[in-house]
Amino acid sequence: MDEKTRIELEAAAFRAMVNHLREHKEVQNIDLMNLAGFCRNCLSKWYLAAAKERGIDMDYEQSREIIYGMPYSEWKARYQQGDKQDISK
């Protein structure tokens, strides 16, 4: 497989994962972190790091909005459940 195709497939898989997480808001970040060792906030940080490596001007809140599909504060108010620990930092 050539590199361009590999990158396109990786990007498609990433988009599918982000869309899956957006559709399954019942999956809490703390549960993802405990089970898989990463969460939506980790994805936001990795996205931000990739943007900065490419000289793209972006901040953490912007990268979070890309991953969450809405401002993080709005997602948290709507979907964060109960007394689950906030691992957003």
* Domain ranges within the chain, ordered by starting residue: 3-79
Q: What is the pLDDT of residue 82?
A: 72
Burial label for 6, CB within 10 Å (0-12, 13-18, 19+), is: exposed
Residues 6+ apart with CB under 8 A from 7: none
Q: Are 44 and 64 in contact (CB under 8 A)?
A: yes
Q: Are 74 and 17 in contact (CB under 8 A)?
A: no
Q: What is the pLDDT of residue 68?
A: 97
Q: Over 70: is that where the pLDDT of 85 sits?
A: no
What is this structure's pTM?
A: 0.85
Is residue 73 classed as helix, strand or coil in its secondary structure?
A: helix
Q: Does domain 3-79 have CATH number 3.40.50.970?
A: no
